[in-house]
Structure 1
């Protein structure tokens, strides 16, 4: 490195140090798959010289000097390999209760942490506070006490209670619903289901999670405004979307699509896995249902169907499987309870991906252009699976329809050269953006810090419900219509009476004439 290069590098470091922001990030949820996405964003903030304090359940093993953990680890067991391999309406209802109750618990753990309360007691100055938007609004109360602008962030599509707070239209006839099938083209029954589930999820969130969060905050601080009001004051929402996958939606200017920033470049495979992939003449099909769902809980009859399908296809298979059971010849099937997913999907010999269609896995598939067989289980997976099919990235296969014939047909469809080529085009469009998703996420975070007194909230978010749906206007028109009908009836009645009176008068005159005659 020559003298001038050293000077430029030193100036760059000094510039970043002087202009670095003091950022607080709050991730109270204990789901590892969520934080796996956020971690990339946090590391980029740190890399750019910002001083970042991270409240989460997943502290860094070797943090850099401008990365500061406030660890919640150990307070709640992290979510991993806990969901059975099944899907039903009762499970969906159970998810609503889980989200609300865990939101309550997350808040209690967050506020019980003395290091968190010390931030408020010290009146520590932050330029911007980044808050996860998921199952709890408790962190918004902390942000309010610290008097800093707030940026919301997600690792998934919108939750049902997010639409109104950001002024986003939520019409069940064409807006994909987080927990339901149908995508943007729901059937009549699915529209009914969406309306029922939307009411249910919002009710349990507001009644259990948000109300308890408000009460828990009140135990420590007596001046926290209603959390829903604070939610409507969030400057920006960094939404883990991109329209290439999830379709065109009506988002206000402060909802920024940043889907895809967590995917890093694939590293070369090593050891037995490398040999298994490289020696596959027809490529490999990768199977994984994420960090929450255990493949090994799949019913035995369905496992048999899957193995039968494997034997009918020339490709080799790699399967994330949690037990030591030998399922098939090791030259045909490679199993492990942990696999380098990004490195497998990024290998040119990976020709298809059978997945639960979690947003992280789906994003990684579209990043590398690997066609998917999307089989949703829980959470936002049904909506993601619909998006996979509608975007042309893959096909859907519901758990209830999983059998040998349907799975074989799904694989044959995505393995077709024309389908694979289309998936590559979808991936190409996904990458074709004026700014990378990570740069976009960081830019709008810094933007919120630069203009803390500006309001970016859509007007629709703060309009009263009756006004948003023009209920007062409709009521006025109905009232005018009723008044018009009433007046018309009165006039018609008066005219009829006048006519009757005139007729009676004419009859009376005729009678008198008759008597005289």
Structure 2
């Protein structure tokens, strides 16, 4: 008996699209919890879909997960939480640069010195794909090269300055935002000057202080690793934790895929006391948090007083992530805690605004739930996130240098306006409207690279020399042609003038001779 054509078609489709379990290695040598918090749901989902996932991390799973194995780096580095003061300055920017380079080279040494990591290459372990965090070090690319597997890059933020060239993303300070700096796509002249200086300093520092040091460390273990920048250009796909709805439109090549939002989980029930505080808020709730790396309690007292005075004058209740037991002053409308379930709070319909440092995780959760933001960026990607957030219509920003009670109240008045909040809800709807979910997109491209390991989509701009990229040779030709034309024209003019002069002299002599003859 013959099977109906439709059944045959369905069965064929199932067998063709059946996913073969992959052996996947994830390399996350940076000790920032907020970074790994983004990647963890993606790694767990890979395991849940049947892939064998081995993860090198400072944050091993407390409860074992099927198909998920950890290689722990815990204890080799100080975890980064609550270390940065809430104060924006050029000194902070410099210290962040020093910190990034220093931790990156230290992470490389700790990664390669780990016995279980060494077993991977000594046992010639086979992996279909290696997932590598692209942040403050390229050392993991050397490990991936030794293992002979194609690489997928991951970020929990926008691209770092030294990552633009390797992916063929044009840096133009007139409209391309730069990590660490504000200005968005419409920077002032001063902000453009800032961008050029910071971009070149950070690129130079990364090349000579980070990559050269990491290459030296790799040579202690391997003798056949190419230059790290060459390996970086060979990354098959880069999963960037952005989305153009929120982060703005960028001229990304095909190998860069935006997957912003896959870390946002389904909201869980709130603790009873916190739920009661939010439910009973007649005018809604404002949520205040400056993230895990910033220490809210380090806020200068004059700035903290400006913040608390502004919040106390609003009719809304306030939930404030605060590391100490008490908040200076007596504020009955403010609920404080050193830990808060941020995503679950933002998901509550009674939460009407978010006062934030504009870290990408919190900003993503805010647009996911349609909560407007008053952003106060301090360091890292926060200034560029805040600028993009404001340009998108998601909220407004205020700088610490201009922070006063009156100014902050003005900002809250804007985002608490019903029409502004309605626009944010519409923006959230657009953000959600995609052909596939962020998680499905990330998983698809992971499996795609495993299916097509030998294909690398390198934009031609990566290998174009500097003088060709900026068309300096073309400009030189035009200048040369202009100069030649100028001198030829000058020569001809001089020649004509000489002939005319000779004719004038000849005529004058002829006239003189005629007068003498007469």
TM-score of the pair, normalised by structure 2: 0.93
Secondary structure of the residue that 2:26 maps to in structure 1? strand
Give, in whole Å, the separation in 2 of the partners of 1:374 and 1:67: 37
Give, in whole Å, the separation in 1 of the partners of 2:42 and 2:463: 29
Aligned residue number for residue 76 of structure 1: 77
Aligned residue number for residue 383 of structure 1: 384
Give, in whole Å, the separation in 1 of the partners of 2:217 and 2:18: 37
Aligned: 1:335 with 2:336: yes
Aligned residue number for residue 141 of structure 1: 142
Give, in whole Å, the separation in 2 of the partners of 1:190 and 1:302: 25
Whether contact under 8 Å (2:82, 2:292) holds in the other structure is yes
Aligned residue number for residue 237 of structure 2: 236
Offset, 1:270: 1.7
Give, in whole Å, the separation in 2 of the partners of 1:289 and 1:449: 39
- Residues 58 and 480 (structure 1), Cα distance of their counterparts in 2 relative to 1, 3 Å cut: same
Give, in whole Å, the separation in 1 of the partners of 2:45 and 2:406: 46
Aligned residue number for residue 318 of structure 1: 319
The total of aligned residue pairs comes to 505
Q: Which moved more, 1:348-357 or 1:308-317?
A: 308-317
- Residues 348 and 126 (structure 1), Cα distance of their counterparts in 2 relative to 1, 3 Å cut: same
- Residues 496 and 120 (structure 1), Cα distance of their counterparts in 2 relative to 1, 3 Å cut: farther
Aligned residue number for residue 4 of structure 1: none
Give, in whole Å, the separation in 1 of the partners of 2:503 and 2:121: 86
Aligned residue number for residue 194 of structure 1: 195
Give, in whole Å, the separation in 2 of the partners of 1:197 and 1:326: 37
Give, in whole Å, the separation in 2 of the partners of 1:61 and 1:334: 30
Where in structure 2 are there 5+ consecutive unaligned residues?
1-10
Aligned residue number for residue 222 of structure 1: 223
Q: Which moved more, 1:154-163 or 1:486-495?
A: 486-495
Give, in whole Å, the separation in 2 of the partners of 1:86 and 1:272: 32
Secondary structure of the residue that 1:161 maps to in structure 2? helix
State how 1:274-313 maps to structure 2 within 5 Å.
Answer: 274-313=275-314
State how 1:12-411 maps to structure 2 within 5 Å.
Answer: 19-327=20-328, 331-411=332-412
Give, in whole Å, the separation in 2 of the partners of 1:376 and 1:189: 18
Whether contact under 8 Å (1:17, 1:49) holds in the other structure is no
Give, in whole Å, the separation in 2 of the partners of 1:298 and 1:389: 23
Offset, 1:43: 0.8
Offset, 1:329: 5.4
CA offsets 1:358-414 (integer angstroms, 9 cap, x no match): 001100111111111100011010111111211111110111111111111111221
Give, in whole Å, the separation in 2 of the partners of 1:50 and 1:17: 12
Secondary structure of the residue that 2:84 maps to in structure 1? coil
Offset, 1:511: 5.5
State how 1:448-487 maps to structure 2 within 5 Å.
Answer: 448-487=449-488
Offset, 1:66: 1.5
Whether contact under 8 Å (1:17, 1:50) holds in the other structure is no
Whether contact under 8 Å (1:237, 1:255) holds in the other structure is yes
Aligned residue number for residue 4 of structure 2: none
Offset, 1:508: 5.3
CA offsets 1:159-191 (integer angstroms, 9 cap, x no match): 111111111122111112211111111111111
Offset, 1:33: 0.6
Give, in whole Å, the separation in 2 of the partners of 1:486 and 1:109: 65
Q: Which moved more, 1:15-24 or 1:341-350?
A: 15-24
Q: Which moved more, 1:117-126 or 1:499-508?
A: 499-508
Offset, 1:502: 4.6
Secondary structure of the residue that 2:220 maps to in structure 1? helix
Give, in whole Å, the separation in 1 of the partners of 2:510 and 2:19: 107
Secondary structure of the residue that 1:220 maps to in structure 2? coil
TM-score of the pair, normalised by structure 1: 0.93
How big is the alpha-carbon RMSD for the aligned residues of Structure 1 and Structure 2? 2.0
Whether contact under 8 Å (2:373, 2:394) holds in the other structure is yes
Secondary structure of the residue that 2:127 maps to in structure 1? coil
CA offsets 1:447-493 (integer angstroms, 9 cap, x no match): 11111111212122222222222222111222222222222233333
Aligned residue number for residue 432 of structure 2: 431
CA offsets 1:254-293 (integer angstroms, 9 cap, x no match): 1111111110111111232122222222221111000001
Whether contact under 8 Å (1:160, 1:202) holds in the other structure is yes
Offset, 1:507: 5.0
Give, in whole Å, the separation in 2 of the partners of 1:204 and 1:295: 30
Whether contact under 8 Å (2:312, 2:331) holds in the other structure is no
Give, in whole Å, the separation in 1 of the partners of 2:496 and 2:228: 60
Offset, 1:115: 2.2
Whether contact under 8 Å (1:85, 1:297) holds in the other structure is yes
Whether contact under 8 Å (1:372, 1:393) holds in the other structure is yes
Q: Which moved more, 1:63-72 or 1:244-253?
A: 63-72
Whether contact under 8 Å (2:48, 2:66) holds in the other structure is no
Give, in whole Å, the separation in 1 of the partners of 2:494 and 2:121: 73
Give, in whole Å, the separation in 2 of the partners of 1:198 and 1:32: 26
Whether contact under 8 Å (1:53, 1:70) holds in the other structure is yes
Offset, 1:128: 1.1
Whether contact under 8 Å (1:267, 1:343) holds in the other structure is yes
Give, in whole Å, the separation in 2 of the partners of 1:441 and 1:35: 16
- Residues 491 and 427 (structure 1), Cα distance of their counterparts in 2 relative to 1, 3 Å cut: same
Whether contact under 8 Å (1:296, 1:321) holds in the other structure is yes
Give, in whole Å, the separation in 2 of the partners of 1:401 and 1:119: 52
Whether contact under 8 Å (1:276, 1:331) holds in the other structure is no
Give, in whole Å, the separation in 1 of the partners of 2:95 and 2:19: 49
